[in-house]
Amino acid sequence: MENINISKIKVRKEELKLTFSAIARLSKTSERTTKRFFNGENIQLHTATKIMKLLGINLEGKSLRSVSTIRKIRANKKATYIASLTQDTSKMEAQEVQKSVFDKTVQRIEKLFLKGSYQKELWDI
């Protein structure tokens, strides 16, 4: 793993305000392996790639996506999931929500993850 720029990867971790635990969960690796990676120890390349994909960077530490883009993608994913729970409940009650209403709901929830009261939960599963 000597070709990986760990210092740039650590900076990105801090920029995204990610914990080792969150990185491990979201990249589907163990927390122990995640910590070994950030300590510059050897781990399997496919595991390192999963972590770096989550962080939006390549092996050299070059940004593939901006921090704001990564946060927006994550917020949208979580907001869509939460809104779909409501959608599924409405379907069971034969009161399905229109797509335009669903999309507006996703946008409102997404804003809460990015700038509102849910910011701390952005990286939770």
pLDDT in tens, 46-56: 999 999 999 99
Where in the chain are the domains? Answer: 6-64, 68-121
| Predicted confidence (pLDDT) at residue 96 exceeds the cutoff of 80 | no
The four Cα atoms 55, 58, 62, 68 give a dihedral, to 10 degrees, of -30
6-64 carries CATH number 1.10.260.40: yes
Share of the chain above pLDDT 90, in %: 61
pLDDT tens-digit readout, 19-47: 999 999 999 999 999 999 999 999 999 99
What's the predicted TM-score (pTM) here?
A: 0.79
Residue type, 17: K
8 A C-beta contact, residue 15 and residue 70: no
Under the banding of pLDDT at 50, 70 and 90, the label for residue 92 is very low
